[in-house]
Structures are given as structure tokens and as C-alpha cells.
Amino acid sequence: MSNSDDLLDVLLVGYGAVGVMYTYFLENSKRARVTVVARGNYSLVQDKGINIESGRLGNHAAWKPYRIFGSVSDAADRQYHYVVVTTKALPDVLPTSRLLSPLLAAEYKFPQPTYVLAQNGLGVEDDLYAAAKRTRSHEPIIITGAVFLDASLTDSRDGLVQGTMEKLVVGLYVGETAPPPAPDAVASLQTFVDVMKQGGSNASMAENIQYEKFMKNRWNAVVASLCTLARQPPPAMSLTPKLEEIVEGPLHGTLQELSALGQALGYPVTEEDARFLTDRTLRGFSKTSPHLPSMLVDVQRGSPLEVEVIIGALVRLGKKYKVSMPRMELIYALLSIIQVQNLQKDGLKV
């Protein structure tokens, strides 16, 4: 596609590290033009663009997408083929349905887009699905994904630093009472993956996307959570042989709780999966790795945590399926204390 009339119009909400990467992939495909909603760093990127330093994308100074706005309401001026959400999933702070409310309102006269949720956690689709279902008579099309990316914004939030690791696994969200995906939904999923791949992404489709999200969420729920509570990166868990011995039992035990939950959900999760992630966490990181889990970075910045979708969702599933998860419940309780403190400090209602 070279004619601007043939380009896919995409709205991307959330111009953090994931948002910058995906905006670049979409525009680099030459098949899409992207309107970005950059809330926290709007003025910076509108004036100066983003400086990209990436082993995957190369280096690009002052790079800008097609359009940049500071709010969804300002960007709701046209029909979009896709609306890609790369913000943190914070149902206890800002539900996705409220974030995207200008697109769900009766005043938005354009056809509904395909929504793409590139967010951590489980159950991130439920709120948007229910709101879109109430708004329009037809079945909403929601693509949901598991994001794997070693990237972060600079402290000034006008630069992206990324290595080489990037993978996106996506699939169609199907609500509990929803019919099987219609042909137009399947076609929309295929087109999105094709465009992302043509732009340089390692994008792929999964037949059971909820299983893929569950497996990815184990690292965030256990390893990232423990790092956050200890205020240390993963290599700190095994700085000495004695410390590694102390950490290994509780770490592995917590991952075993998630294996039991996965089995109750009907997923092909085994004891070997828990052992593999335990070994990788304790013995697979370079002792000098600078990587910090995003949840730990959020605590350092005093930002809201994705505690409900990453940990709370697992605890609620455990209760629903009668799977005992005392370690996960303790992690949930401790992180909830931090969450409430951060929200109250910012004057947010809890």
C-alpha cells in the first residue's frame, strides 16, 4: 500500500516503550499510519519526537509517527481499523472502558474498530468486552496478546532504549458466553499480524492465547513480584550459594502453585515448567544484568502497579477452581499494601 487512502488507520494509546516499538513496526510496514495518544509524555514527543536506540529497529533521532494527541477524545475524529492499547492494565485505577470511552460513546458515529490489547496480566479484556457489547449490537472484535520485550523509556521519557529481544503472540478474545469468532474477526487478526511482521516484529498467532498469556504471566506474578518486594533485580536472588539455597524453595513452591492452577484451568502445564522457570531465574541471568522488572520500576517511581491483573486475577481463579495458593495470596496482600499507599499518595480513590 502506497496510496494514503489505502493505508490502515491505527490509533495507539499509551506511548511508553511498548507503544513506541509497535508504532514503529506498524508505520515501517508501509501499510498503516498511526495516530498516537501520548498522555504522560505528550508535550515532549510532540515537540521533539522520540530518540530510538534499538538493536532491533536501529537508531532514529527525533522520530515521530503520523499524528500525536494528548487524549483519546482529541483523537476520536475518524474511523480506525485498529485501536492498539499498550498502557498498563489498571482496572482499579483506570478501567480500559473508561480510557477508551470516547470511542464507545454514542457520539462516536464511526464503525467500531478491532481492539488490540497488548497488556500484561489476565482478564484484561473483560471490562472492554462488556462495555463494547453494551455500546453496539454486534460482537466486539478484541485481539489480545502476550508481549515479550526488553525495552524501556529513558528517564526523560523522550528516548527508547532496546536490545534485540521482541516477540508478540496474539489471538482473538472470546468471552465466556460469546459465539465462535466470525470470519471478519479471523481476517482482522491475520491482517494485524501480517502488518506487524512486515514492519519487523516477531508477531505470531496462537490458537489458545489465554494459555500463552497464563504462561507468560507466571514470570510477572512470581519473579517480578518477588523482585519488587525485595527491591532488587533477579540476579540478586542468587548472589551467593547460601542465598540461592534460601530462595529456591519458596520460589519453586510458588511456581508450583501456578502449575496446579494451570492444570485446573485445563492447560498443559507440568512440574517441569515450574522447575525450568526456577532454574532460569536463579541460574539463567547474568550476575551483572541491569534489567529491572517493570513492576519494580513502578514502585521506584511511586506509580500504580498492575497488581490486580497480574496477581489478583490468579488468586481469584484459585478460589474459583479451589486451588490452594497461600504463597500467591501473601504476595497479593503485600503488593496490595504498596498499591494502596501509592494511590493514596497520589490522591486517588481506593
pLDDT in tens, 155-188: 888 899 998 899 999 999 998 888 899 999 999 9
Query: Which domains, from first to last, does the chain contain?
Result: 6-207 (3.40.50.720), 211-345 (1.10.1040.10)
How many C-beta atoms surround the C-beta of residue 165 within 10 A? 12
pLDDT class of 18 with cuts at 50, 70, 90? very high
Whether the CB-CB separation of 279 and 234 falls below 8 Å is answered with no
How many C-beta atoms surround the C-beta of residue 110 within 10 A? 11
pLDDT of the residue at 103: 97
Which stretches of 260-340 are assigned E, i.e. beta strand?
none
Give the three-class secondary structure for 67: strand
pLDDT of 2 strictly over 80: no
pLDDT of the residue at 349: 66
Which stretches of the chain are assigned E, i.e. beta strand?
8-13, 32-37, 50-54, 58-63, 67-69, 82-85, 114-117, 142-153, 159-172, 203-205
Q: CA-based diameter of the chain, in Å?
A: 63
Mean pLDDT, rounded, for 69-75: 97
Mean pLDDT, rounded, for 206-231: 97
The contacts of residue 290 (CB under 8 Å, 6+ apart) are 233
Mean pLDDT, rounded, for 252-262: 98
114-128, 170-184, 235-249: the lowest-pLDDT one? 170-184
pLDDT of the residue at 1: 44
Share of the chain above pLDDT 90, in %: 84
2-6, 119-123, 183-187: the lowest-pLDDT one? 2-6
pLDDT class of 135 with cuts at 50, 70, 90? confident
The contacts of residue 62 (CB under 8 Å, 6+ apart) are 48, 49, 50, 51
DSSP, res 134:
H
The three cell numbers locating residue 240: 551467593
Which amino acid is present at 16?
G
* Alpha carbon distances (Å) from 186 to 142, 160, 170, 197: 10, 33, 12, 17
pLDDT class of 35 with cuts at 50, 70, 90? very high
Which amino acid is present at 212?
E
Mean pLDDT of the chain: 94
Give φ, ψ of 164 to 5 degrees: -125, -15
pLDDT class of 3 with cuts at 50, 70, 90? low
Alpha-carbon span 168 to 191, nearest angstrom: 14
pLDDT of 19 strictly over 70: yes
pLDDT of 325 strictly over 70: yes
